Structure 1
């Protein structure tokens, strides 16, 4: 990605392009925009990560609450963001058996009841069996461990979404 293109974006363009690198959190893109110019995609990603890390616990939990349940209501109702739909599809979560859907639904509910935010994992880096195994395992973590792990997963998702945007912006500037 040519950073001159990113750095030349006005506020509205920047938020429009980067507003969902952290699921349903365009305010993060808005806050990071003020840190321009970025020297590289890695620098942009570091600014996002630093912003997330600077948030109090309640802010981090708020980021996690913006994420949909995996294979949950938003998927069934067709209201997932395009990014989430693609990620869940790649992980095989859009083609679960009735038994897998039921198991995942029960695990999601137990997890959310325990931690007060949905289970977050980078679906693109996992398949449905690994996701179910991780959900079963991570529910035993302490709240602090799980907050740290989940924020790490948000950063993994952000990294992959930034790479996707980089490819899209590069292709658009070649046209």
Structure 2
């Protein structure tokens, strides 16, 4: 990605491109826009991570609450963000057996009841069996552990989405 292009984006353009690198949290992109110029995609990613880390607990929980349940209602209704739709599809969450769907639904409900935010995992780095296993095991963590793990997973998702954007912008500039 040409950082010259990123750094020359106005506010609206920047939000259009980077507004969903953190699921449904365009305010994070808005906040880091003021940190331009970025020397690299890694510098942009670091700014996003630093902003998230600076948030109070309630802000971090808010970020986690913006994530959909895995293979949940939004997937079934077709209302996931395009990013989440692709990620859940690639992880096999769109082709669950009825038993897997029921198990995942029950685990999601238990997890959300315990932590007051949905289970977040970088599905692109896992397959559906591992996702279900992780959901089942992470439910026994403390709320503080889950908040930390969830935010680390958000950062992994952000990293991969930034790589996708970088590759899309690079391809578009070659055309």
Bin of the TM-score, shorter chain as denominator length: over 0.9
Q: Secondary structure of 1:28's match?
A: helix
Q: Secondary structure of 1:104's match?
A: helix
| Structure-1-length-normalised TM-score | 1.00
1:172, 1:15 → 2: CA distance?
18
Q: Residue in 2 aligned with 1:14?
A: 14
1:37, 1:174 → 2: CA distance?
23
Q: Deviations over 1:17-55 (max 9, x none)?
A: 000000000000000000000000000000000000000
Q: Residue in 2 aligned with 1:68?
A: 68
- Give the number of aligned pairs: 175
Q: Residue in 2 aligned with 1:170?
A: 170
Q: Secondary structure of 1:121's match?
A: coil
Q: Are 1:152 and 2:158 counterparts? A: no
Q: Give runs of aligned pairs for residues 79-158 of structure 1, distance below 5 A.
A: 79-158=79-158
Q: Deviation of residue 7 (structure 1)?
A: 0.3
1:16, 1:108 → 2: CA distance?
30
Question: Which ranges of structure 1 fall in alignment gaps of 5 or more residues?
Answer: none
Q: Give runs of aligned pairs for residues 38-77 of structure 1, distance below 5 A.
A: 38-77=38-77
Q: Deviation of residue 172 (structure 1)?
A: 1.2
Per mean C-alpha deviation after superposition, the further-off stretch among 50-59 and 165-174 is 165-174
Q: Secondary structure of 1:5's match?
A: helix
Q: Deviations over 1:123-150 (max 9, x none)?
A: 0000000000000000000000000000
